[in-house]
Amino acid sequence: MDAFFVSVYLLGHPEDVGQAVAVGGSPDGRGVITSASYEARQFGVRSAMPARRALRLCPHLKIVRSDWRRIRDCSKLVRFILSQHGPMEPMSVDEAYVDLTGRRDPERLAADIQRQVKADTHLPASVGLATSKLVAKVASDHGKPEGCVIVPPGTESDFLAPMPVRVILGIGPRTAERLAEIGIETCGQLADADPERLAGSFGRHGRRLPERARGIDRRSVNPKRGPARSISGERTFGKDIDDRNELHEQLRKLSARVGRSLRRRELVARTVFVKFRWSDFTTFTRRHTLEAPIDGDDEIFEQAAALWDEHWPSGQRVRLMGVGVANLLSNREARQMFLEL
């Protein structure tokens, strides 16, 4: 989906269509931009940018909060439409793969699906059609907004060759920087690199990079999502906090939020973790695993508070606090475990 959160907002606010609009947090506090309209992007506004900075780049920018209910509803509808056309694997709230293997005239089908999404949701989407997930994703990004990019079989390598290595899913800023240090900046250069040499400096993952850069990716579309592996909540405070009571109060709120989410999904957890971020941005986590799984707000808070008190130097100013659970089991699995014990 294109500028998804902003597009969803505009559904309910047609008067703002064509304006520089962004979804994000408060520019007075420590909010960042989540999604920016293409008009806002012309001013350099990007997601993950501090809202304050976005406003400086684009003084007339309208920043609005995200409407999660509406976003979820739109996401569900898009997924439903896609799933009518083949096995569908959701990647995130606004991206999914559909397997059209064996379908007649997939080029036309891709364009039809895009039109159907627009007609039924009134939301703009981009489509990429290719022989693998990796290339389809690059193609889809390449045509934004409202693009429909088809990469015919056999042309994957040529399609990717001129592009920066960053377009490949899994190559982030860190890997791109390290590749640049050895003179590799484009997919074409990466495709020609020696896999063994890359394995030397990038480990197991490195050996596969040249084939990835050629568009070779045998991963299939997998519609079955595994169960959640962790659930967490975190909060960056508007102002750093150093008062123990206030910190405990926040810890209790976050624990309750995590607990609710856990129970709604009918899961229990054996591990509780807390996340710390001091004023100077030093960040770390501490965790504890229990013998028996839990799902209650008070139980989560009790564990979180013990970890917190153990690692929070009294008086240390806190910028962010997080609480999470991992080692998740379904209620059924937990019952089974209990019987075995």
185 belongs to the binding site for DNA (CB under 7 A):
no
Out of 16, 95, 242, 333, name the contact with DNA by CB under 7 A.
95
* Angle of helix 297-311 versus helix 244-264 axis, rounded to 10: 140
Q: Is residue 340 part of the contact set for DNA (CB under 7 A)? A: no
Contact call for residue 218 and DNA (CB under 7 A)? no
x/- site string to DNA, residues 101 to 140, per CB under 7 A? ------------------------------------x---
Minimum CB separation from DNA for residue 251, in Å?
13
If binding is defined by CB under 7 A, does position 253 make contact with DNA? no
Ramachandran bin of 68, using left for φ above 0, alpha for ψ from -120 to 50, beta for the remaining angles: alpha
- Taking residue 98's Cβ as centre, other Cβ atoms within 10 Å add up to 24
Name which of 30, 32, 55 is nearest 43 in CA terms. Answer: 55
Q: Does 204 bind DNA (CB under 7 A)?
A: yes
95 classed as catalytic: yes
Contacting residue, 12, 60, 92, 218, with DNA by CB under 7 A? 92
Residues 6+ apart with CB under 8 A from 162: 186, 187, 188
Q: Which tokens belong to 146? A: 């409202």
The reply on whether position 322 binds DNA by CB under 7 A is yes
- Judge whether 171 and 189 are in contact, CB under 8 Å: no
Total residues binding DNA (CB under 7 A): 55
Task: State whether the Cα torsion 18-4-44-213 is positive or negative.
Answer: negative
Residue 57 to residue 43: CA distance in whole angstroms = 6
By CB under 7 A, residue 205 contacts DNA? yes
Strand arrangement, sheet containing 283-294: 230-241, 318-330, 267-278, 283-294
Report the site for DNA in 45-64 (rule: CB under 7 A).
47-48, 50, 52-53, 56
Whether the CB-CB separation of 270 and 295 falls below 8 Å is answered with: no
Minimum CB distance to DNA, residue 115 (Å): 22
Active-site annotation holder among 15, 39, 89, 95: 95
Q: Does 176 bind DNA (CB under 7 A)?
A: yes
Minimum CB–partner distance for residue 110 and DNA (Å): 19
Active site residues: 95
Residues that bind DNA (CB under 7 A): 25, 30-32, 34, 47-48, 50, 52-53, 56, 91-95, 137, 168-176, 203-205, 226, 228-236, 261, 270-271, 273, 280-281, 284-289, 320, 322, 324, 327
